[in-house]
Structure 1
Amino acid sequence: MKFIGLVALLAPAVLAADFISILQEKCSDMPPNCLEIAKDVHQTGKRPNIVKDMAGLGACNPYYQKCIQRLSASLERRSADAAQENVVTCILQIQPDHFLFMANPAHAKIPFPAGQTCSLRDMHRLAHVVLSEGAR
């Protein structure tokens, strides 16, 4: 039982590194500040800095949308329409999504309803699909 607990604690850190690696590989033109926001909201064990993250999202959304297209193309799937409604809720959903996708990778293949997502969240979902299919 302790082993399972240890794996549950270590897996997010390992997958976070893979998540960032995929973004760096597939979306190499993403500015460092946008990559940093994606990394910050993805990290487990700490709360996202909503004020800082929201301030940067406007400038980063075009890069996240391009990254979504690239990740989708690498998976030969279309991405869900990434609406920008309720950005705070969207950012706060990324960490719970991460645990859901780790527990059941098939959930990452299900696009979010348009009103419940944003570019950053959809990019995170697609990165998990790439990770689960080994399509790097």
Structure 2
Amino acid sequence: MIRRWSPAGLAPPIGKYSHLATVPADHDLVFVSGQVGVLENGELAGPDAESQTRQAYANIGTLLESLGAGPEHLVKLLTLVSGTEHLAGCRAARDEVFAQWYPAGDWPAHSLMVVAALAAPELTVEIEGMVAVPRR
């Protein structure tokens, strides 16, 4: 089982994340490329950060399923947001998804960066991750 925690001697996390996470020896570490808010048909889920973030997490969910894994197997996430004006929408969608994925608050390690731009001007959010998948 993945262990996530925030040790004593540090301020508690300022958001929905754990300071540390470890991967058990009997797991493979899988890297998830940055997911953006596009639907299966390649169309953007919406013009705003909230809809794009929600879809990026849905895409991560699909990738997890393809591995026979779930959100509990996520070790680390990195969220890139293209401008501070998109933070509120990104956080709203993340909170919605995390309430479903982590009802007990056992969040993965997670960093968030505000960047000048992403790969295309219409993109507002990109999320990548690391997944610990039990070996079969």
TM bucket, shorter chain: under 0.3
Question: Per residue, is there more strand in 1 or in 2?
Answer: 2
**Rg larger in 1 or in 2?**
2
Structure number with higher relative contact order (C-alpha < 8 Å, ≥ 6 residues apart): 2
Question: Per residue, is there more helix in 1 or in 2?
Answer: 1
When the two structures are superposed, what TM-score results if normalisation uses the length of structure 1?
0.27
